[in-house]
Structure 1
Amino acid sequence: MKSLLLAAALLLAAPLAVQAAPSDWLTAAPAAEGLSTARLDAMSTAIKAGQFQQITSVLIARHGKLAFEAYYDDGKPDGGAEARRNTRSVTKTVTAMLAGAALDRHALPGVSAPIKAYLKDHPPAANPDPRKDKVTVEDLLTMSSIAECDDDNQYSRGNEERMYLIEDWVGFYLDLPVRGFPAWSPRPEASPYGRAFSYCTAGVTTLGAVIQGAVGKPLPVFADEVLFGPLGIDKPEWQVSPLGLAQGGGGLGLRSRDLLKLGQLYLDQGRWNGRQVLSAAYVAAATAPHAQARSDADYGYLIWLQTFGGHKAWVMSGTGGNKVVIVPDLALVAVITTTNFGVRQPHAISEKLLTEHILAAVER
């Protein structure tokens, strides 16, 4: 009896077998796709021991096949394979994908289109300035608009936390004053790629409204039609503003497998199961550098461009160290979900897990 109980306990503690994946994922054993089973087992042991704080799931696709899938909160009411993960700003890359879908359908004429034309229902903004009228779709996609908006600066007029205090989140962005550039802050023309980066959730929230205005339907409806439906993603959990606008800047709840699909879509130049969901041209533009976010990271269209262990990666990133990491030269996509929201340096924790375990598991 004890041996049976021990076997059952080990089975419950083990990573969920990849055979449980939905039918639209081809599956394979890690070794078949050049991943070290021993290293992945060691990773799971370290996660369960709390060495990476609160990691809730890790999924890895290699060569288009789901090769590893583990849930470290399985058995909890809000855990396991069916849990909708609130990966915070990972949502921003989803909004970029929806912008790409609108561009592919010519609902938006191009990334240089001024956003003002698609926000006609909003009253005249405070702090009027003709430069604000020229803010484009690409300005919002690259976090480089002229608005004084910086989530990393608690004193910024456009800090994200201030937006949540009022009901009209788009109006909040439109009312922001023009950003100043003191002598110690490089102007856009003096910045790499000609854009001065400033992390601004309010701008991405506004981009969601711009997409709605361009396509003539609510953002969740458009997302289901052009992105989630084709990828087999159902029951997404959107957060909404007090005025009912789906929040394109964060908080979208998706399953870990759904997040993996989004990463695979970019890795495969916009294709999923033989269908061109986003144009390859848009994916190439989205994953090219358009602004320098930090000394060690560039920024594409609402996606981070980083290097890990000598490998260039495209990273969908959210608070708590939530990550969807696409590594083109390894044909690899990894999902790391966490609840490390109150933990010090959560992104560094997830990146250590990525480099010391996931990338280290690649043997060929």
Structure 2
Amino acid sequence: MLLRHGHVVAEGWWSPYRPELPHMLFSLSKSFTATAIGLAVSEQLLSLEDKVVSFFPDESPAEPGDNLSQMNISHLLMMGTGHTMDTMTDMLQSHEGNWVRAFLQLPVEEVPGTYFLYNTGATYMLSAILQKVTNQTLLEYLGPRLFTPLGIKDPTWESCPRGINIGGYGLNLTTEDIAKFGQLYLQQGQWNNRQILSREWVAAASSKQIANGDGSPDSGEWSQGYGYQFWNCRHGAFRADGAFCQLCIVMPEQDAVVVITSGTNDTQQVMDAVWELLLPAMKSAPLLQEEPSAVADLAAQLSTLQIEPPRCIQSSSLESSMSAQVYKLEANELDIDTLEVSFSGDEAVLTIQEKSGRQSLVFGREKWTANTANIIPNPSGANAIMASFTWAAEDKLQMTMQLVETPFCITEEITVKEKSIQLTHSFNVTMGPNEPVTLAGYLIE
């Protein structure tokens, strides 16, 4: 979505993605968490100078040390806690799910405020502090103060084992919801003639609070400085940013907002395209006269955006012999015990027996078919999935699952042998190494 001067200039979703579907925001959630802190500051529920340990006397070390003792809310906001390693790994593995205690027990090697480290655990602590002082989750607190005024409906947010919204990730909103959030910051906290968020907070959150690189134009988008859970960008812009290129770019000099929900590991390339293609066209001169033909051409192009299902070989002679056969898989990290595929007309049903239960998905023959299933964790329930199959070769069945409320696309390739199969499972994007998982299976007779 592209907004300029408060109006939507262009918007498009690649089908089977749709505008009404919520989307996993990953770390773009952090900017919403910071906004809650800004609101709490305005309500005098806390101050940025408040020490972190003061909120959690029972979870803090008996002798916290100088650096931990100095750490305050502003240090959490600016990712300047003094840690030299992200704290989330230890928090996720913490005893009895006490993430707060795990955070506070870790060594703080540097003086807070002097060392930048992107630290998702710091954002979680902001959520925990807010819940401590308000007795509400982030989601509950932001409801009447942010989500309702902006017309954001049915947001969901993942929680830790102790019921605290994760803060650093886990928020799910539509693309338009993110655009509203960006527009609120562009309008310096004002919405429908009401000052929802203070101008002072917007200025502080979007300004450089700590250095995270040399700041040179050639060093990319991760070294221009960091605010309060917002990244500074080139060209006077700032952004909320989530994994796999979930972006809310606010461009004050151009009075514009660019929002992108996607599934790629190359965020820099996408940002470069914004600067190279969109920015030069944003003239400071008075609005141009609308050209009906150009408007019609753009509307036509946007209306036909789609991700085509893979199309290789439409069918295989193996369908009849493979159909409804059950294959036992070797012990594997995916926890899949058995697999079977049944063909009927232009549909294939994949049934998987896992430790957690049995699931079936319907795949259209070289077309998308709608499903719901529990593939990855989702706070609002099962995943919405569009699924399609084709044959990559006479003996290789290719099954594609587009998880349309996430950046993820999963591909299952099943190579069929006489009494065995080989299953190759792959994601389009992952947080770590992205090597496909290959498993062997044999026919249960």
SS at match of 2:212: strand
> Which structure carries more relative contact order (alpha carbon 8 Å, separation 6+)?
1
Instruction: Name the one with the larger helix percent.
Output: 1
Q: Residues of 2 paired with 1:347 and 1:127: CA distance?
A: 42
Q: 1:158-169 maps to which residues of 2 (within 5 A)? A: 158=87, 160-166=88-94, 167-169=97-99
Q: Residues of 1 paired with 2:274 and 2:12: CA distance?
A: 14
SS at match of 1:248: coil
Does 1:268 find its partner at 2:195? no
Does 1:132 find its partner at 2:68? yes
SS at match of 1:294: coil
Q: Residues of 2 paired with 1:300 and 1:274: CA distance?
A: 26
Instruction: Name the one with the larger strand percent.
Output: 2
Provide runs of 4+ in structure 1 moved above 6 Å. Answer: none
SS at match of 1:100: helix
Contact 1:336 1:350 in 2 (8 A): no
Q: Residues of 2 paired with 1:88 and 1:131: CA distance?
A: 29
After superposition, what is the alpha-carbon deviation per residue over 1:83-120, rounded to whole angstroms, capped at 9, x for unaligned? 21112111111111000000010111x21111223335
Q: Closer, same or farther in 2 for the Cα pair 1:124/1:298, shift >3 Å?
A: closer
Q: 1:122-201 maps to which residues of 2 (within 5 A)? A: 122-125=58-61, 128-146=64-82, 148-151=83-86, 158=87, 160-166=88-94, 167-180=97-110, 195-201=114-120
Q: 1:90-129 maps to which residues of 2 (within 5 A)? A: 90-108=28-46, 110-120=47-57, 122-125=58-61, 128-129=64-65
Q: Structure 2 unaligned runs (5+)?
A: 216-223, 285-445
Does 1:305 find its partner at 2:232? yes
Q: Residues of 1 paired with 2:60 and 2:73: CA distance?
A: 19
Q: Residues of 2 paired with 1:134 and 1:246: CA distance?
A: 25
User: What is the percentage of aligned positions where both structures have the same residue?
Assistant: 30
Q: Residues of 1 paired with 2:84 and 2:61: CA distance?
A: 15
After superposition, what is the alpha-carbon deviation per residue over 1:3-47, rounded to whole angstroms, capped at 9, x for unaligned? xxxxxxxxxxxxxxxxxxxxxxxxxxxxxxxxxxxxxxxxxxxxx
Q: Closer, same or farther in 2 for the Cα pair 1:361/1:162, shift >3 Å?
A: farther
Contact 1:126 1:174 in 2 (8 A): no
Q: 1:59-98 maps to which residues of 2 (within 5 A)? A: 59-72=1-14, 74=15, 76=16, 79-98=17-36
Q: Residues of 1 paired with 2:114 and 2:255: CA distance?
A: 30
Q: Which residue of 2 aligns with 1:331?
A: 255
Shift in Å, 1:163: 2.8
Shift in Å, 1:130: 4.0
Shift in Å, 1:317: 0.8
SS at match of 1:81: coil
Q: Residues of 2 paired with 1:230 and 1:119: CA distance?
A: 32
SS at match of 2:276: helix
The one-letter amino acid paired with 1:361 is A
The one-letter amino acid paired with 1:71 is W
After superposition, what is the alpha-carbon deviation per residue over 1:195-237, rounded to whole angstroms, capped at 9, x for unaligned? 3211110011011111111223222110102111111111112
SS at match of 1:195: coil
Shift in Å, 1:288: 1.8
Does 1:320 find its partner at 2:244? yes
Q: Closer, same or farther in 2 for the Cα pair 1:119/1:232, shift >3 Å?
A: farther
Q: Residues of 1 paired with 2:196 and 2:163: CA distance?
A: 27
After superposition, what is the alpha-carbon deviation per residue over 1:222-261, rounded to whole angstroms, capped at 9, x for unaligned? 0102111111111112011122211110121111011011
SS at match of 2:248: strand
Of 142, 146, 152, which aligns to 1:223?
142
Q: Closer, same or farther in 2 for the Cα pair 1:349/1:251, shift >3 Å?
A: farther
Q: Which residue of 2 aligns with 1:243?
A: 162
Q: Closer, same or farther in 2 for the Cα pair 1:279/1:355, shift >3 Å?
A: same
Shift in Å, 1:349: 2.2
Shift in Å, 1:143: 0.5
TM-score w.r.t. structure 2 length?
Answer: 0.59
The one-letter amino acid paired with 2:99 is W
Contact 1:149 1:199 in 2 (8 A): no
Contact 1:112 1:136 in 2 (8 A): yes
SS at match of 1:178: coil
Contact 1:119 1:209 in 2 (8 A): no
Shift in Å, 1:150: 2.8
Shift in Å, 1:126: 7.8
Structure 1 stretch 288-297 or stretch 320-329: which is displaced more?
288-297
Q: Which residue of 2 aligns with 1:211?
A: 130
SS at match of 1:299: coil
How many residue pairs get matched?
274
Q: Residues of 2 paired with 1:256 and 1:224: CA distance?
A: 18
Shift in Å, 1:149: 4.5
Rg larger in structure: 2
Contact 2:25 2:170 in 1 (8 A): yes
Q: Residues of 2 paired with 1:127 and 1:323: CA distance?
A: 41
Q: Residues of 1 paired with 2:144 and 2:123: CA distance?
A: 21
SS at match of 2:261: strand
